[in-house]
């Protein structure tokens, strides 16, 4: 299956501003890209004047994510890409036999995903997690039980999140967006000594009846039986067409765009769909 | 100056338990160690029976810290080292001319130290930080102003901390231990776009009149003019004899000992003093 | 000036449900009402069937508010009143000479308005308040300084509140609705030992150019020089036509409607305008 | 049974300071007092000079508690009483048949004890409470289940509380002092629509083997079958000799001593024991 990918994100930037983007497809999927997913950055006056290409540089952060830096001038900023990726077309694998690995046997670089992080208060939710999931069969089954619980107990509502909302807030408020669902599930997994990391990427609605405006998505991964597996407490079903962009301990490590000052988002458009589904490219090259 | 370093930490371990220690002197100081600061781990029945050496393994985490893993059997656990280090004997450098580097010019690997982390809610405290320090001259002067503020406003009290205490808690409660002082100062620095990281290490009372029981200590570092500089919102004065062990975004990344289950601390002893000051080794080889 | 007052609030009630309303004009204004502001409660099937009057009972709570209780059957619930009140037509009084009364001289029943309450963490914000307002001239001037600060620092945004949002949340997030502004100002006043209470009532846009959909409003009162005075950190200007309905320590004491179970708000309409402004009654008698 | 009651509390007061005490035996027990429990307040220079009686005044707050006000001069302050009370000598009543009263049938003045208050976040803990106690038989049984849960899950530790600690903090931290146990149990009861109020009073160790230094104590009451009943999530057993002093929504309403400024507690002594147990009065008249 070929999946068309892209985004077109626009801002008004009132004064020169440093950005870091995590908008590249993850290096583990790079070989399947039909065209490089270059992060194009341009600036204009927003009223028809010349458009200038803004230079970018890239680095790999400590989680293996490709990060793109650029310094935006005052004006109208556009950040976009358009590419497509070969995909197996298969839903997320399900492996009920996958076992938990005790902490002493985990690889070194997996250990940080057992600890507390900005949005995942392992310390505050450990007692609750043990009460809810301590008696559940361990391994894949326990992770699935955590997803089922979060999915059943938390209500999706676009308006009911905020930048500072943590797993504990989600646990008490029981409402949020996809990142909130994943933060709570990630935290519960870590409380049970199951390594869990937050994931951001593309996820279209391939194979599901509901059609929503396309957006980036968050899910999470757990480490069982020697590898990372995708779980999604928001959708809570195997899905087709996840394209991983970045992973980290939580959304504090994974942000599509971070800027060190203020700007105003004026337009946001994401494409993630089966390529055959439309005849025209989703993102128009300017 | 020669500084004697060491620790002897003992636990009762009720059931086999995985540990990760961050108890090695940081690699940047390794060349100055007179003897390797091996993390010795032994286990016994605690009532005179045989003592067994517990094997350890080491790895470097993403912050460059040396981490020591071991799997402790049920019994009485002892973790210790004894070494000494050559030190300049000079107090922390003070460089009033050191300038802030704008985000767009920071090295890639410094950027994470501008963001929110478990104990440092940059998002929640940004408005406060700008109100307090926005009009202060930038650079070293602003960091010092932050330290002065935290040092003046927060009261030290051993009993008044808790594992979940964040910078925002310190800001409202105005009481804590050294890690709490540093978390608030680190957060304020990041709010002002000054990279700041949490540091743990040895700090004796060399050159200061007060003699307290020796302990590990926390301070922090800021990135100005192309390098990291030590600051200490708790003591708020240049000190002699800091020996860095580990750095990270906050205390969630830097823990002398992390275990993935419960144990009981039974004894805790740290040495960090000028070698000439005593005639006998501080940590007795068992 | 004659002010037309009323509301029409409708719910779908899925199962019989107990309600308490604080929807009566405060007893201190009762003599000025042209007609009694009876809380009418009716229930219907919502699709044209018969409408039934639901009996109510009333009591005065410990703050002197008139509370109306009723037990709603399953169905479509309507709560409404329509009345008008004589008003001086004068803006809120301003008395720069009004002095703070030290705690030892306050009337007994004013003392509770110095303490922490659900949304007003006097304990957590005291240090901040002293830093911000400790050097400000006391009395009316200090309360006005508090209103100025809150008004300048907090941004109004209908979408950015939540039922659990406290004064400390407002202080860190700097965004909210009118109740959030008042909670922060109330808390700062109490921190400075100035009694402050939360107020809910009618407030139209008489005398102000901006015309927003009419709604209930929140403001607050402080006790200076032996009486309560209206302040409003959201609008931060003397206004014409406030009609007090209920007061309490904070929004936990003052809720237009409290129900002990779930229902769905389907319609919400409030009138508060100069009577001459329209020729027809704002609330139609069903 | 005759129970000897009293206290002797001393402070250093650095500057004149207003106090409110809730140190009187509750009016519901007044008839059983052998002698009036006058709140004696004296001030001295603390080094042998004259002792001055400080005048007090009293009022009844909105919860029916007797409050004692006084204005302490700079110096050494002593607040004390010594009395005794006739008591049935019977343990707290246990009535397994006591039923919950639905909100619509509760007396007006009981309704506030269903709502959120400073330390009892009914809103934040409702989902948790329903998950834990929704399937438990209602009435006395459900309240007892709540006490059992809190008593089993929370560990008593004198050092692990703080003035701002709420029920949600207790739920996540699982450690605290008696007030913390009661706050969590009170909150869970309210979440289940069972009115619950916080109680402070004398509670000695009559009939229990353990002898601790005598102190005031906190417990709570729930409203079942038309009356208030004592429960105690800390001790979780019927006890002999509770003497109620004050009730309120939580500890923000009930404080043995509130002052509007700073002072230093220098001595704290409470007596609550069977009168025959000692031959000399516990509190010496100065």
Greater confidence (D12 vs B284) lies with D12
| B127 contact C CB<8A | yes
Q: Give the other-Cβ count within 10 Å of C10's Cβ.
A: 18
| Closest residue on chain D to A172 (Cα) | D124
Would residue B282 count as lying in a domain? no
- Grouping H, G, I as helix, E, B as strand and the rest as coil, residue A150 is helix
* Summary mean pLDDT of chain B: 93
Q: What is the pLDDT of residues B4-18, one digit of tens each?
A: 999 999 999 999 999
Q: Looking at beta carbons, which residues of chain C come within 8 Å of D113?
A: none
Would residue C215 count as lying in a domain? yes
Task: Check whether residue D211 and residue D264 sit in a common domain.
Answer: no
Subunits with 3+ Cβ pairs within 8 Å of C are: A, B, D
The CATH number of residue D261's host domain is 2.60.40.2250
Percent residues over pLDDT 90 in chain A: 88
Is pLDDT above 80 for C154? yes
The first and second tokens of residue B1, run together, are 């100056």
Would residue C286 count as lying in a domain? no
Residue D208: the pLDDT is 83
Q: Give the other-Cβ count within 10 Å of A268's Cβ.
A: 14
Task: Check whether residue A121 and residue A213 sit in a common domain.
Answer: yes
DSSP D207: T
* Summary mean pLDDT of chain C: 93
Is pLDDT above 80 for B245? yes
Is pLDDT above 60 for D57? yes
Is pLDDT above 80 for B212? no
Residue from A129, A171, A176, A188 whose CB has the most chain D CBs within 10 Å, to mutate = A171
Residue A210: the pLDDT is 67
Q: Looking at beta carbons, which residues of chain A come within 8 Å of D149?
A: none
Tell which residue, D165, D154, D140, D133, has the closest CA to residue D230.
Answer: D140
| A62 contact D CB<8A | no
Span C236-264, average pLDDT:
95
Task: Check whether residue D137 and residue D34 sit in a common domain.
Answer: no
Q: What is the pLDDT of residues C23-76, one digit of tens each?
A: 999 999 999 999 999 999 999 987 778 999 999 999 999 999 999 999 999 999
Kindly indicate whether the ipTM for this predicted assembly is greater than 0.95, answering yes or no. no
Is pLDDT above 60 for B142? yes
Task: Check whether residue A29 and residue A41 sit in a common domain.
Answer: yes
Residue B266: the pLDDT is 95
Would residue A206 count as lying in a domain? yes
Q: What is the pLDDT of residues D72-83, one digit of tens each?
A: 999 999 999 999
Min distance B117 CA to chain C CA atoms (Å): 16
Say if strands B75-86 and B40-44 run parallel, antiparallel, or are unpaired: antiparallel
Is pLDDT above 90 for D284? no
Task: Check whether residue B78 and residue B139 sit in a common domain.
Answer: no
From the list D159, D164, D173, which residue is nearest B159 (CB)? D159
Min distance A41 CA to chain D CA atoms (Å): 43
| B74 contact A CB<8A | no
Q: Which residues, 6+ apart, have CB-to-CB distance to B161 below 8 Å?
A: B176, B177, B179, B180
pTM across the whole model: 0.93
Q: Give the other-Cβ count within 10 Å of C30's Cβ.
A: 13
Q: Looking at beta carbons, which residues of chain A come within 8 Å of B258?
A: 115
Span C109-118, average pLDDT:
96
Is pLDDT above 90 for B211? no
Asked whether the beta carbons of residue C260 and residue D69 sit closer than 8 angstroms, the reply is: no
The CATH number of residue D237's host domain is 3.10.620.30
Confidence tier at B114 by pLDDT (50, 70, 90): very high
Q: What is the pLDDT of residues B158-176, one digit of tens each?
A: 878 899 999 999 999 999 9
Total of domains in chain B: 2
Q: What is the pLDDT of residues B188-199, one digit of tens each?
A: 999 999 999 999
Would residue C94 count as lying in a domain? no
Cross-strand partners of D258: D20
Is pLDDT above 70 for A279? no
Task: Check whether residue C33 and residue C123 sit in a common domain.
Answer: no
CA B141 to chain centroid: 23
DSSP A114: G
Task: Check whether residue A135 and residue A111 sit in a common domain.
Answer: yes
Confidence tier at B69 by pLDDT (50, 70, 90): very high
| D130 contact C CB<8A | no
Subunits with 3+ Cβ pairs within 8 Å of A are: B, C, D
Residue B84: the pLDDT is 96
Residue D280: the pLDDT is 52
Confidence tier at D135 by pLDDT (50, 70, 90): very high
Q: In what order do the strands lie in the sheet with D40-44?
A: D52-53, D40-44, D75-86, D2-13, D264-274
| C124 contact B CB<8A | yes
Domain of D21, in residue numbers: 2-88+256-274
Is pLDDT above 80 for C278? no
Task: Check whether residue C109 and residue C51 sit in a common domain.
Answer: no
Would residue D93 count as lying in a domain? no
From the list A69, A104, A111, which residue is nearest B71 (CB)? A104
Residue C158: the pLDDT is 83
Asked whether the beta carbons of residue A193 and residue B260 sit closer than 8 angstroms, the reply is: yes
Task: Check whether residue C159 and residue C245 sit in a common domain.
Answer: yes
Min distance B267 CA to chain C CA atoms (Å): 35
- Say which range, C200-214, D103-117, D237-251, has the weakest mean pLDDT: C200-214
Min distance C109 CA to chain A CA atoms (Å): 35
Would residue C280 count as lying in a domain? no
The Cα D92–Cα D221 span in angstroms is 11
Asked whether the beta carbons of residue A124 and residue D153 sit closer than 8 angstroms, the reply is: no
Span A107-136, average pLDDT:
97
Is pLDDT above 60 for A286? no
Task: Check whether residue D12 and residue D83 sit in a common domain.
Answer: yes
Would residue A282 count as lying in a domain? no
Task: Check whether residue D243 and residue D200 sit in a common domain.
Answer: yes
Task: Check whether residue B231 and residue B261 sit in a common domain.
Answer: no
What is the radius of gyration, based on Cα positions, of chain A? 19
């Amino acid at each position: 299956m070929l999946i068309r990918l892209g985004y077109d994100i626009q801002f008004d930037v009132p004064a020169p501003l440093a950005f870091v983007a995590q908008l590249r497809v993850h290096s583990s999927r790079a070989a399947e890209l039909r065209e490089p997913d270059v992060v194009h950055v341009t600036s204009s006056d927003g009223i028809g004047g010349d458009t200038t290409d803004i230079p970018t540089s890239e680095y790999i952060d400590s989680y293996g994510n490709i990060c793109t830096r650029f310094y935006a001038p005052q004006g109208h900023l556009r950040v976009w890409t358009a590419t497509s990726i070969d995909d197996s077309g298969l839903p997320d694998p399900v492996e009920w036999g996958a076992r938990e690995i005790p902490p002493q046997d985990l690889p070194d670089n997996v250990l940080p995903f057992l600890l507390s992080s900005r949005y995942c208060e392992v310390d505050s939710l450990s007692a609750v997690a043990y009460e809810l999931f301590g008696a559940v069969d361990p391994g894949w089954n326990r992770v699935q039980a955590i997803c089922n619980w979060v999915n059943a107990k938390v209500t999706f509502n676009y308006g009911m999140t905020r930048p500072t909302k943590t797993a504990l807030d989600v646990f008490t408020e029981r409402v949020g967006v996809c990142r909130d669902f994943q933060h709570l599930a990630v935290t519960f997994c870590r409380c049970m000594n199951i390594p869990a990391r937050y994931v951001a990427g593309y996820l279209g609605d391939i194979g599901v009846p509901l059609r929503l405006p396309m957006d980036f998505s968050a899910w999470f991964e757990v480490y069982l039986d020697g590898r990372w597996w995708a779980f999604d407490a928001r959708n809570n079903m195997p899905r087709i067409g996840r394209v991983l962009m970045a992973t980290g301990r939580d959304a504090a490590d994974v942000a599509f765009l971070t800027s060190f000052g203020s700007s105003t988002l004026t337009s946001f458009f994401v494409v993630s769909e089966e390529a055959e589904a439309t005849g025209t490219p989703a993102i128009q090259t300017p």
